[in-house]
Structure 1
Amino acid sequence: MRADARKNRDHLLAVAGTAITEQGVDVSLRDIARRADVGLATLLRHYPTREALLDAVLRTSFDELAAQAGELETSSSPEDALATWLRDCVAWTTEYRGVTVLMAAAIEEPESALHASCVTLRAAGARLLTRAQAAGAARTDIDGADLFALVAMLAWVGDQPSLAPRADHLFKVVASAILTSAG
């Protein structure tokens, strides 16, 4: 890709990320194009669907969370690794309003542009959970799919204006239900 084309594409993704953070995943594609100072056709030429644009915007974060899980596996206790990753994953998911609904749907739809990223993220969390379970630090009656659903649930709570003030408390409640030694 030419340097100017890459620069334009990076600018478009940065603008889209800001718009999604501010207005949620249902932000108008026309608004994103206007903010990026390009035509809607240009946006659609690069990203033919909303999901394709979202995948491009979110993929770096998905990859970073998956990489973080790998780092935590070797640098932290199983309990601390799972708790840290869970908190960071929920915080990231809350940053992009409405993304949890798309992630929950994409994980079950192989044709979704977000599917591969969601599967990778769920697998990263599942590895941390399995490690904590093997160490006796996490309950054994949940799996990676349950953990992924709990992330979505906690992010949804944080996304609701009337519930957001309780999000940290509810995170602690859920974490203590997952981690056998949390209190």
Structure 2
Amino acid sequence: MPGHQRADARRNYARILAVAEKEVAAHGADASMEQIARTARVGSATVRRHFPTRRALLKAVSRNRIEALCVRARELAGQGDSRTALVDWLGDVVAYCVSARGLAAALAYDSAEPAQVHENTCSATLAEAAGPLLRRAVQDGAVAADVTVADLITLAVGITLATEHYPDPADAAHRLFRLAVTGLSPQS
């Protein structure tokens, strides 16, 4: 939100965002823009002026959660085993995506091209924060050299979206995440 907006526009933005956070938490990425407008007591044109696309709305709703994941990546960057640090961070991404309906959609890309991660500012922000974790794990030989942060975010998004309608999405997502990280072989 630009700082040069009128006071009433800033109030509308804040009210729309507060309502959108609740609607996205309740209904996920498909939360109704019209319902958000009604609840915020503004016209749908006002909502679209502030958030011209659903992705823009999801990005704004997810901003604080994205920042928390970036802080977590920085905290883990120099700690202990590099693979454990990376897996812990990625597990946090999955957990956040499960608990914050709509976050997975905000992180998803429109294209299958890994380079497209940089066209999605939520994903680009996470990619920048996770870069040091992944580089360290690759340097330590704990993660394959061809793994990218875009791959990791895609994995987290895929697990989240695949389990969002399960009776216990958090448990299902955690189980699939552990399976993806450890592989199919039985643990000895």
Return the TM-score normalized by structure 1.
0.78
**For 2:148 and 2:56, how far apart are their aligned partners in 1?**
28
Q: Deviations over 1:36-93 (max 9, x none)?
A: 2222122122222222222211222223212321221034432332122111111122
RMSD: 3.1
11 and 110 in structure 1: CA distance in 2 versus 1, 3 angstrom threshold:
farther
Q: Are 2:94 and 2:173, in contact at CA under 8 Å, matched by a contact in 1?
A: no
**For 1:109 and 1:35, how far apart are their aligned partners in 2?**
38
Q: Which residue of 2 aligns with 1:105?
A: 109
Q: Which residue of 1 aligns with 2:174?
A: 168
CA offset at residue 162 of structure 1? 5.7
Matched, 1:33 2:37: yes
Q: Which residue of 1 aligns with 2:94?
A: 90
**For 2:75 and 2:49, how far apart are their aligned partners in 1?**
37
CA offset at residue 151 of structure 1? 1.0
**For 2:43 and 2:115, how far apart are their aligned partners in 1?**
30
Moved more, 163-172 or 1-10: 1-10
Matched, 1:43 2:47: yes
**Runs of at least 5 residues in structure 1 that lack an aligned partner in the other structure:** none
Matched, 1:129 2:141: no
CA offset at residue 22 of structure 1? 1.0
- SS of aligned partner of 2:121: helix
**Runs of at least 5 residues in structure 2 that lack an aligned partner in the other structure:** none
Identity of aligned residues (%): 36
Q: Which residue of 1 aligns with 2:56?
A: 52
**For 1:153 and 1:48, how far apart are their aligned partners in 2?**
26
Q: Deviations over 1:82-118 (max 9, x none)?
A: 1221111111222344553553324759999x71221
CA offset at residue 19 of structure 1? 0.5
19 and 129 in structure 1: CA distance in 2 versus 1, 3 angstrom threshold:
same
